[in-house]
Every structure is written in structure tokens, then in C-alpha cells.
Structure 1
Amino acid sequence: MTTKLSGYYQQAYASHSKHFNQCFYCGCEATERDYCPPLHMMQSIIDLGEDAEFISIPACYECFALLHNERVLTIDGRFTKVKKKIANKYAKALRVFHMWHENELDDMSDEFVHSIKAGMKLGEEAAQRLDFQGYSYATEDARVTIREKRTEFDVQGIVFYDFKEALNYCINELSVDKSDFYKLVVEDYNGDFNRALSQYRHRHEKVTAATDANTLIKSFAKQHKQNSDFVTRTVTHFINKDPSLTTEGALEKLYTNYIKK
């Protein structure tokens, strides 16, 4: 039955010999053919009159398995879907690869170094698969040209072609905390460094402001021999009633209304 169904699909093959037997999605060795849409969904898609490309394309076993149950009806859509799945599956290894450097392992235990190096190797392989841009292919009816493009990461107008280099620039030159910032740029902003930097600074400024306010309150309480909890509650009350008030303004109001008298 599967053989009969596969006859409805156009076979896609790499246009250039350097891509023969290479997975279209990640560049690894192709051992399977990914059917777009999956063979076991074909009949229902036809019955529902859904638009689909009905193309089979070379894929490695892992990409084939990751896409097997995905109701994604175009090659481009399946390309995007499998990249997300690879990124999620190897998220921990990618984090290790991007966050660690060989020169940081010198003083670590052998067991720890072995574990980190294994993670770095797996993460590097995953990063290479994510960077792979596909290749031009031909079917019986058409030739699809894939223009190879390098992934760009803009950091305040400076363009990097490698995620790790962009991350290191932010850590070393912009003094971000690598753990907090990595979570922002990867999990929250999908590689958009500028949006991640904006949010990081916003959070940092809020923390700094809260720390400064706490310092002012403690200093005020000590100077005027007041209970610091009372000062904190009163300042919070004043600011809630009038959001335009600064901590300094609220303390001044507290002094005028309750202490100076």
C-alpha cells in the first residue's frame, strides 16, 4: 500500500553532485525519503482538498523521524519545523557549546571535563545542522533553486555570521551576564540579539533601581530613627497613590508629613 501511495509523489533530487545523498534539512547523510505530506496522512489531505506539494526529498533518519507525524504540507514548512525540533531536542547541548570554552576547563575535574566536552561536541554538531540552508533540487516538473545564505546576527549594527561569536561579543564587550542573556536571546527572542539586549537592560535597570531605592530607605530609617518596614510601607503607599513620585520624593513627603512635625 505504501509503495502505491508513494507513486503519487514527485521525487526530488539534489541538483549538484556535492549534495547527493545529503539530507535536505540538515546536511547529514540521507538514508530516507521524507514525504511531504507524510504518506499516512495523504488520503485524508486529498479528501479534505488541502493544498500540498506531494514531493519526497532526501532526509537523514533523524529528520525523517522528527517529521514523520507532522501535518506540514510544504517543503519550506517542513524545513522550518524540523529546525525547531532539532533546536529543542539539543537545547542543553547547544547551551553547553555556546557557553563553554576549552580554556575554562583547565582546573576542572576529569569527569566534569569529559561531560562538558561531550556536550560541546554534540552541541557543535547540532549548531552545524541548524546552520545548514538546504540545497537546490529538481523534480520531474520543476527545478527549485535554493539561494545559499548565511545566517546573520545583528548586535547594535555589528553583523556576525556565527551565533557564538555574537554571544561572546555581548558577554565580553557589553558586559552582560552570559547565563541570563543566553536564556533571553535563545528562549525568549529566538536569536534576536537587539531585542534581547533591550529587555536585558530593562530588567537590569529595574533591579538597579530597586536596589538603590532599598538603600535610600534604609539610610533614611537609620538617620531619622524610624522602623525600616514602616518607611518601606509608607513610601510604597505614596508611590501607589502618585506613580509620578520617586523614592526620594516619597521619603521627602514622609519626612514632612510624619517626622518633621
Structure 2
Amino acid sequence: MTVNNNTLKHYYKQGFAKQVKDANRCYYCGCEATDTDYCPPLEHAELVLEFSENADFISVPACYECYAMLHNERVLTLAERVDKLKTKLAGKYAKALKVYHMWHEAELDEMSPEFQHSIAAGMSLGGEAASRLAFVPFILSSEDASEIKPAAKDCFIVNEQEFTSFDDALSYCFDTFGVQKSRFYDLLVKECAGDFDKALSQYQHRYSAPKVLDVGKEKIKAFAKQHKQNSDFVARATERLMKQDAKLDIDAALAKLYREYIAR
């Protein structure tokens, strides 16, 4: 027999902000709260209870957008709902977030009026989305005086250095490693799920390798000309030597080729 929502609501603790400064704020993103999000959603509560699934059974204040994104999601714990919401927000505002992270206000004056308007609008929307994504849920109290503390704020690791904000970590990558902003951002967000070290490794593999190969080709060409050898032969021989000994770089392989095959 189906249980109505009013009956199911009795299974939930009502969560509210412990501190006055957080009153009327969305638990998930910090915007003005207009709705109540139930964890797990009321639509799934009956089956969750019937099968004794692990769930938090708490209601929290939410803004309209966060409520709309989550109220049908079968996500049963509050921490998982926070993660789910952040993922959905990041996906919805992906383009605006990229504009926000790629451009700076100081660059707007150099643009045409039309482009300036478009970029400024994207930066504004992206900045708001970034702020909501960075928001840390507040401490909740309930009728029984129990408290629910949110998980620790995310930190971002880049090359063994720890950053407390995504923006700071991203700027560090731009300034320190000289990566092309748009390429690196797409790798980081779309393919590496925000893992900075993985994105740096992928970037170097994908975009730095051609430069290394070009340098190698020039060295092979110069070596062949200097020693009056066929450049195709030098390239094949060098490749074979480097495969035989992984410690050899292009210079060491050419030196070995000269010493063991040409100078004899």
C-alpha cells in the first residue's frame, strides 16, 4: 500500500542552519532558500524504508534551482547529494565557467563592444556559478538538538602543492607550466575530472610531444649531413637504439650510433 507524503515526512528530521548568518540560505549553494529538499526524496522514501537502505532522512533548505536539480534524484545521503548537485551545476554552467576562468576584466577593454558584452555576461554568470560550486554547506541543527557537520572543504593538489581554491590552482598551472589556457582547462574539466596532476601529465603528453619530435628530427637531419649518412637510415638506427636502451635520449643514441657504427 502506498504511503502518502505527509505520513512519510514524519520519518525525516528537519535540518536548519545552526548560525543566524546562514538562515534562509540554500544548504547546497548558499543562494536564497525557497524550497525544502528531502534526503532521500519523498518519492523514493517508501522503498528505502521497506528495504532498509542506508539513508539520512533529513530535510534541508534549498534554492529553487538546486531543489529542481535534486528532488527526483535517487541519492540517499546528504554528502552524496551535495556532490551530485555540484556535478550538475558544473555541467549546466560549463560554458560560462570556462569564460570566467579564461578571461579577466582587465582584458575587456581590448575587445570590440559586441565581444566585450558577450564575454562580460559569461564572466558574470560563470563567476556566480563558481561561487556556488565553492560554497561549503553550513552546520545543520535539528529538532533533537543533534548537529550535522559538512565534509571538509575540498583542496586542490598541483605538483605536491595544496590550494584551497580551484582558481588559485588553475592560475598556478597557467603561470608555472605555461600551458595554453583553453586546451588545459578542457582537459582538466572534461577528461580529468578536476585532477590537476593528471591534466598536466595529459597535456604534456598530448601537446609537448610534437615539439620533442621536431627537435629530434632536426638533430637527425644535422647528424646525417655532418657524417654523410642517409637520414632515413639514421632515423631508423636511432629509434632502434633507443628501444634497446630506454635510458638513451636522442643525443645519447646519436653518439652511440656514431661511436659503434660510423666511426669504426
Q: TM-score, normalised by structure 1?
A: 0.82
Contact preservation (8 Å) 2:37, 2:61 = yes
Does residue 172 (structure 1) correspond to residue 180 (structure 2)? The answer is: no
Point out the more displaced range, 95-104 or 237-246.
237-246
Point out the more displaced range, 226-235 or 112-121.
226-235
Deviations 1:60-79 (A, max 9, x none): 12211222332221112211
Residue 105 of structure 1 aligns to a residue whose secondary structure is: helix
Residue 134 of structure 1 aligns to a residue whose secondary structure is: coil
The one-letter amino acid paired with 1:8 is Y
Does residue 39 (structure 1) correspond to residue 38 (structure 2)? The answer is: no
The one-letter amino acid paired with 1:90 is Y
Point out the more displaced range, 208-217 or 108-117.
208-217
Question: How many residues are treated as equivalent by the alignment?
Answer: 261
- 2:92 is matched with 89
Can you give the 5+ residue segments of structure 2 that lack an aligned partner in the other structure?
none
Alignment of 1:21-170 (within 5 A): 21-146=24-149, 152-153=155-156, 160-170=163-173
The one-letter amino acid paired with 1:143 is S
Rounded Cα–Cα distance in structure 2 between residues aligned with 1:84 and 1:58: 19
Percent identity between matched residues is 50
Point out the more displaced range, 181-190 or 136-145.
181-190
Deviation at 1:214, TM superposition (A): 2.0
Can you give the 5+ residue segments of structure 1 that lack an aligned partner in the other structure?
none
Contact preservation (8 Å) 2:242, 2:248 = yes
Contact preservation (8 Å) 2:238, 2:253 = yes
Deviations 1:152-197 (A, max 9, x none): 5465677654432443344335544333443455455555556655
Rounded Cα–Cα distance in structure 2 between residues aligned with 1:72 and 1:97: 30
Does residue 236 (structure 1) correspond to residue 239 (structure 2)? The answer is: yes
The one-letter amino acid paired with 1:46 is L
Rounded Cα–Cα distance in structure 1 between residues aligned with 2:244 and 2:159: 38
RMSD: 3.2
The one-letter amino acid paired with 2:123 is M
Contact preservation (8 Å) 2:108, 2:120 = no
The one-letter amino acid paired with 2:77 is T
Point out the more displaced range, 85-94 or 21-30.
85-94
Contact preservation (8 Å) 1:221, 1:231 = yes
Deviations 1:207-246 (A, max 9, x none): 5543432221121233344443343233223322333433
Rounded Cα–Cα distance in structure 2 between residues aligned with 1:42 and 1:150: 29
Alignment of 1:172-251 (within 5 A): 172-187=175-190, 190-191=193-194, 193=196, 206=209, 209-251=212-254
The one-letter amino acid paired with 2:254 is L
Q: 1:4 aligns with which of 4, 7, 11?
A: 7
Rounded Cα–Cα distance in structure 2 between residues aligned with 1:57 and 1:168: 35
Deviation at 1:100, TM superposition (A): 0.3
Rounded Cα–Cα distance in structure 2 between residues aligned with 1:93 and 1:6: 38
Deviation at 1:9, TM superposition (A): 1.9
The one-letter amino acid paired with 2:50 is D
The one-letter amino acid paired with 1:215 is E
Residue 122 of structure 2 aligns to a residue whose secondary structure is: helix
Contact preservation (8 Å) 1:136, 1:143 = no
Residue 57 of structure 1 aligns to a residue whose secondary structure is: strand
Q: 1:124 to 1:236 in 2, by over 3 A?
A: same
